[in-house]
Structure 1
């Protein structure tokens, strides 16, 4: 096994365990519960969970989706997130080589965590977005060999551009059009994709948002007045696609070439 193979295999093996941790965070952070030191327990009978209960994916299958003690149903969100993180790891291993495999997986896992919380609670906590941006700056400079100013400029333009749009919308319409966490998230994304990738992130995000809005309109026949959409989740989609495929103008140039 080569070093590149080891990077890929290690990332794929780690994926479901990261998904299990993300499942915990998506429940405990919005509820304000401790997550760093407290032990996992069954929500129904409060029995502390052991290794047999916590092994990603396999435990859910072996226990047939129920607690060993009280037989309460285990929320399917856990295997779904574990499976999603496994798919992100596989995608990273197939699209990257060497240490860029775990770097890409870290980006995808973090975006999944942020998108899940924003989709369920319309909340983008700074405890997730700010370290996300810092990690992007460190990893793109240290592993991807980006120039030191690239993530800094990307973060500044990402935050400043979306904050300016939000300010103009508020001045023109008299109410907020997006949450306060969205500009900080785009700033953090800019630390990963650089300033060149920011327009592509926004284009993908708008396309994802319009697709969801159209699907909701078809299913419900109409949109509810004042209904909010999780723009942070759409930004996460845009960030992932831009990281994997590069800025859209590069794709267009390659296609025309």
Structure 2
């Protein structure tokens, strides 16, 4: 029973935390704190009742519209809550106790990264710093060893920085956001250097898949259109950690 309930409990915890992280993703770009003040309606600014703050379920029961004014609830709330719930569930399935919490925390941080990059094309340096520091700190609980992580941090940052620099010199315009190499370096501090090529390849495939979906829907894609590559890196990195931990246990 313990093996069954622990992933479920982590999933519920993830959904609750996801509700907070969605608020962070909405308020941080606007320079507003998510730690102060009550939850407010995105449409009219009125306080949201506690019964309408249940992660995932409230949005379903309200059919995606605020009770107070009928405005459409941002889909970002449910997307982040569901993503964080999945991170908690999968972490609980591959590990237990403190180890699974650490794995889930990596996923929750990456969900916030992806949410900010997908909606604002912005990944703040303090968030990347948190990912990097926790990556080194978790070497006491998770593989790989610190040496592999340090190499991964340098290789992750250096490889994407060189790609961006080469693109700028050849094309005369930015090809990567400034935060992408830093994020890839922070991911390397979690995963080590061995998994970085696979993460980069998977992220590129996600990006190509998103472009293909847009083209299939009849939406034009400009050559110089900015894409949230940091979000794709985040989406590729978490399954890589799950796989690594699963193979090591």
In the superposition, the TM-score normalised over structure 1's length comes to 0.85
Alignment of 1:53-92 (within 5 A): 53-92=52-91
Cα 1:80–1:210 change in 2 (3 A) is closer
Q: Which has the higher contact order (CA 8 A, sep 6+)?
A: 2
* CA deviation string 1:113-165 (max 9, x = no partner): 111211122112112111111112112x1221542323222112111221122
The structure having more radius of gyration, on CA atoms, is 1
Whether contact under 8 Å (2:84, 2:108) holds in the other structure is yes
Whether contact under 8 Å (1:5, 1:98) holds in the other structure is no
Whether contact under 8 Å (1:7, 1:99) holds in the other structure is no
C-alpha separation in 2, matches of 1:153 and 1:225: 33
**Counterpart in 2 of 1:13?**
12
**Counterpart in 2 of 1:214?**
212
**Counterpart in 1 of 2:145?**
147
**CA drift at 1:84:** 2.2
Secondary structure class of the residue paired with 2:97: coil
Q: Which runs of 5+ in 2 are unaligned?
A: none
Alignment of 1:90-101 (within 5 A): 90-101=89-100
Cα 1:66–1:231 change in 2 (3 A) is closer
Whether contact under 8 Å (2:144, 2:191) holds in the other structure is no
Secondary structure class of the residue paired with 1:220: coil
Cα 1:137–1:171 change in 2 (3 A) is same
Whether contact under 8 Å (2:20, 2:34) holds in the other structure is no
C-alpha separation in 1, matches of 2:41 and 2:209: 37
What is the root-mean-square deviation in Å for CA atoms of aligned residues? 2.4
* CA deviation string 1:206-226 (max 9, x = no partner): 111122222222322752242
Cα 1:234–1:71 change in 2 (3 A) is closer
C-alpha separation in 2, matches of 1:217 and 1:44: 32
Cα 1:63–1:222 change in 2 (3 A) is closer
Kindly tell me the number of residue pairs found equivalent between the two proteins.
Answer: 246
**Counterpart in 1 of 2:34?**
35
**Counterpart in 1 of 2:175?**
177
Cα 1:176–1:136 change in 2 (3 A) is same
**Counterpart in 2 of 1:187?**
185
C-alpha separation in 2, matches of 1:145 and 1:198: 14
C-alpha separation in 2, matches of 1:50 and 1:218: 41
Whether contact under 8 Å (1:7, 1:102) holds in the other structure is no
C-alpha separation in 1, matches of 2:207 and 2:61: 37
Secondary structure class of the residue paired with 1:144: coil
**CA drift at 1:193:** 0.6
**Counterpart in 2 of 1:121?**
120
C-alpha separation in 2, matches of 1:65 and 1:231: 28
Q: Which runs of 5+ in 1 are unaligned?
A: 251-257
C-alpha separation in 1, matches of 2:95 and 2:54: 27
**Counterpart in 2 of 1:103?**
102
